[in-house]
Chains A and B, each alone.
Chain A
Amino acid sequence: MNTGQMLLSLGALILLSTMILRFNRAVLTSDEVMYNSKFNVLASSLCTSLIEEARGKAFDQETDSAAVTKTDQLSTTMGPDFGEKYESFNDFDDFNGFIKVDSTMPSAIFYVTSKVTYVEANNLLNIVTKKTWHKMITVTVMSSSMKDPVQMSSTFSYWFFR
């Protein structure tokens, strides 16, 4: 084998190696996308579960056992009351500032956080500081295995039976 043939063989091997590396990269990238979408499915289910749980509570601390007729009667602070823990949450805004680590899922550990704010009736995306009859919960689920966090929001309005 002369020098020219050696160079051609080396060139061919380099080309083949590059092709193999590119192929492996493509496979790994599509694997990553697949896993990410699987984690997103789980993250979405965690978001909806927490929203569902919060919606099962009273609208406000003050409406847990009695009805109110004016927004002034609603509690002034968002979040759990002093000494109130997750197990004893009784109203929607107790989930403001809530953090939970979910390690029960079969594939990854998820971090669930939520925020509750008042929103305007005529624009439910508009967060306001004054008290209204509408509260919005925003749940964010993150994981070190995921590329981007999943975020979902839901608005809960006050109602009662007459």
Chain B
Amino acid sequence: MGTNVILDIMGSIIIGGILMITLFRISDRATESTYNKTGDLTIQQNIASVVRTLEYDFRKIGYCADWTQIPNPSKSIIFAKSDGIKFLTDVDRDGKVDTMYYYTGPVSELIYTANPRDRILYRVVNNEKPVKVNLGVTQFDLVYYNVDKEIIPTPVSVLGEIYTIQISVAVEDIEAYDQKYSQVFWRQIRLVAKNLRNR
């Protein structure tokens, strides 16, 4: 075997190796990309579900089909914390006052998911069993403002002062490729009791 042949073989092995590494990297990138895109799509669908429920429930703070049951909507919030709120509403529009309680559980409740930050969002109507929402919620923050747009410290002591609530929700993947968790964030400022003032 001549020197040229040996050089050809060595050159082929080096080039072949580079090509193989390139192909492996492409394959790895394709897997990561597919995983991340599927995860992104899932968290966007999840946040849409969470937001739809929150918007529906928070819109009805202080609402009752029989208005005499909640004559003063400014008294419809029972307590308000930065990570939870309990308020009066009429869930099934039957004219009977219901209580609704939203809060998040500790991260230790979801140790079986890979994401170390996700937690369960609870929704409790009256004294029923809490409904668990496990859609990768990592943040559920509530900020309360008075009519002058000043932040009210939590837990709120004078509940009638609350004029608007800023709701921030972040949802992340429960599992992620190489622990690169995608996040979707949503924030909305909602009025408490629209029909509060004579306008």
Q: Which residues of A contact B (CB under 8 A)?
A: 1, 9, 16, 20, 23, 27, 30, 34, 37-38, 41-42, 45-46, 48-49, 52-53, 55-59, 63-64, 67, 87, 105-107, 159-161
Contact = CB atoms under 8 A, between A and B. Distances in A.
* Size range of the chain B interface in the assembly: 20 to 34
Q: Which secondary structure characterizes the binding site on chain A?
A: helix
B32 to A, nearest CB: 9
A159 B187 CA distance: 29
A13 B124 CA distance: 62
Interface string B142-175: 0000001100000000000001100000000000
A129 to B, nearest CB: 23
A59 B199 CA distance: 7
Contacts of A48: 55, 188
A105 B185 contact: yes
Contact of A52 (B33, B37, B40, B189): B189
B149 to A, nearest CB: 7
A9 B16 CA distance: 11
Interface string B184-199: 1111111100100111
Interface in B9-54: 15, 19, 22, 26, 29-30, 33, 37, 40, 44, 47-48, 51
Contacts of A52: 164, 188-191
A52 B190 CA distance: 6
A160 B26 CA distance: 65
A49 B185 CA distance: 14
A37 B44 contact: yes
A109 to B, nearest CB: 14
Given A59-B199, A160-B199, A53 B26 contact: no
25 contacts: A1-B8, A16-B19, A16-B22, A20-B22, A20-B26, A38-B44, A38-B185, A41-B48, A41-B185, A45-B51, A48-B188, A49-B187, A49-B190, A52-B188, A53-B164, A55-B194, A56-B163, A56-B164, A56-B191, A58-B199, A59-B199, A64-B199, A105-B187, A159-B199, A161-B198
A130 B29 CA distance: 60
